[in-house]
Chain A
């Protein structure tokens, strides 16, 4: 009689899968579920880490939604940054990908554009500060040489936001370009040959063939850019610190300051949950769009 692999009866507990999964489960429990659960608990409390949390119910949310004008300003700034990445950054990445897809030395170009991604974000912030300094920056010095007074890139609220968005787009450009390049590379060259034989021009081919066929990549880049823009703050912290006068203060930075400068862990957790909810909604949109594409 042959020996069965598993001699236990049906319904008997199977330990092996759990045993192999246990490192992951323990890791997730300690570094994901516990902090998330604790953060959720904190949203209902007032807590500076010096003392014990005090239960305040929904007051933190009430304050953020009804009394904290700065919170709404930061949300607006957050959407501006995320919007900049999508509406300026993504088309720019796509355009560059289309250009470099058929250019010579594409590997070199790809590396050059990807370089910011492997550079320390604080170093990047300082380099751009150096370039954009209102009085001594290379940009305004250069403009001065041709008799132009450049804008106050970092001390005027509007220009500071422009600067931040430009730098973020520059930072993300290479990464998104790679995604588009990979998508374009995956297209069948025969389709392009057929289009050329039919007399389609370059822009027409791009508009009518390339763009529709790389739609999944565009959805992916759109959604990831939006999520990145909504949650990212390191560059802004190092480059402008949210200033001038809160003009570049995004929600993630605002809640960081709330938690670690003002020691308002409860309110910062509530702000984090609100931001999390917004990003979660976007993620759902992403899944739906991708699902529509699949069907």
Chain B
């Protein structure tokens, strides 16, 4: 039997993890030593790879202990990297424990990467040959990861399961060029979120359903102090470094006008279309007409009770609850105010597998298990991922999970309903992050009144098509 080419990646390549997961890795080590295919210089390999003098006694003891033991074999480790904290991922971690019990040959390690640094960490880890096996990919990173061969194609049976079980728009979020690359996990949808206490105070009894209605309500709600600063804003944009607080509402308005952001093959952008320019104008007019300004931030000011309306994703529920306390019952979620044909934007994360994973079969099995009813903590309950999303206050587009979870609360229900036939996936275009940065900056310039919508969007369109030309 040939000598093994290497130890499990978490032993060889992640020295910092040795102490944290010492016991499980001892088990892994034990299995290697008792396996007939082991290298004779195992301890030396470990010593060199882990690179610390202090490790040697530990490893020696580990090897000695391992030889003396005849514990059950574990011959593969699946490493999962997600942006959730261990506390947030608790249902999933419990699920991994159950999986390990049911599959004695497999161990699973969980690595938390910060959302902000996720893609960079993935890039760095791949360069260093330390890539995790399972990713939780934000859909706008997907095109780039696929284009560079980072993601593995999923097994046909799992792809069929996803297509049969998940809402269509969410399946699109994990689909690049017609190929599905993973199982959708967390889904976010944008809707109009209104503080009805403020609206009612201003004589508005129902959340608006048209843009004109939103303008009237916003105007009625807005108040200013003696220095002319806005005290209560009728509407607010969210301030974020990515520009999502402006770009995503713009997408929702543009989709509602029946306009896609790009041509089907992504070779052209439609940012200069009438619908697109009109959406930019609509957003800008809210500032120009004094219903909001850029000093108001929906993230801070809505939970503080200082904003009447915002177009926001469901994941912000907990912050609003925390900020408003008992007044949360005044918060109403309703359609994008764009008339009967309104549409909205959704984005999703999905679990995919690294194309270079040497345990890809096991990794896909872990993905399948975590997202299917088989992993439910109790009979008839949701999958582990479904349970985790529910505890996070996030959405899942898994129909089986939604059925198992029962009726959502009044805040969540409209978001969930929008997933079925109103939500359009954020475009999975290459360089999406760069392009959305440009869109955000242009919209911000128009909204601040520093540029006219039409010429600004025309310039933007040229810049974006320059980028598209590089890749399509």
Contact = CB atoms under 8 A, between A and B. Distances in A.
A161 to B, nearest CB: 14
Interface of A: 48-51, 67, 134-135, 144, 147-149, 152, 155, 157, 241, 243-246, 257, 260-264
- Interface size of B as a range: 20 to 34
Contacts of B226: 144, 147
B126 A50 contact: yes
A246 B441 contact: yes
10 contacts: A50-B150, A135-B230, A149-B228, A152-B295, A245-B441, A261-B434, A262-B433, A262-B434, A263-B123, A263-B144
A135 B225 CA distance: 11
Interface stretch (B99-107, B363-371, B389-397, B444-452): B444-452
Contacts, number: 66
Most chain A beta-carbon contacts within 10 A, residue among B124, B145, B434, B437: B434
Contacts of B37: none
B431 interface: yes
Contacts of B149: 50-51
Contact of B148 (A51, A152, A260): A51
Contacts of B144: 48, 50, 263
Nearest to A258: B434
Given A155-B293, A260-B120, A263-B119, 19 more contacts: A48-B148, A49-B123, A49-B124, A50-B147, A67-B466, A134-B229, A135-B229, A144-B227, A152-B295, A155-B295, A241-B241, A244-B294, A244-B444, A245-B445, A245-B448, A245-B450, A262-B433, A263-B123, A264-B434
A241 B116 CA distance: 14
Given A152-B295, A261-B434, A50 B123 contact: yes
Contacts of A144: 225-227, 229
A253 B77 CA distance: 39
A165 B386 CA distance: 49
B296 interface: yes
A48 B437 CA distance: 17
Given A261-B434, A261-B437, A262-B433, A49 B127 contact: yes
Contacts of A261: 433-434, 437
Interface string B265-302: 00000000000000000000000000001111000000
B468 to A, nearest CB: 14
B126 A148 contact: no
Contacts of B433: 261-262
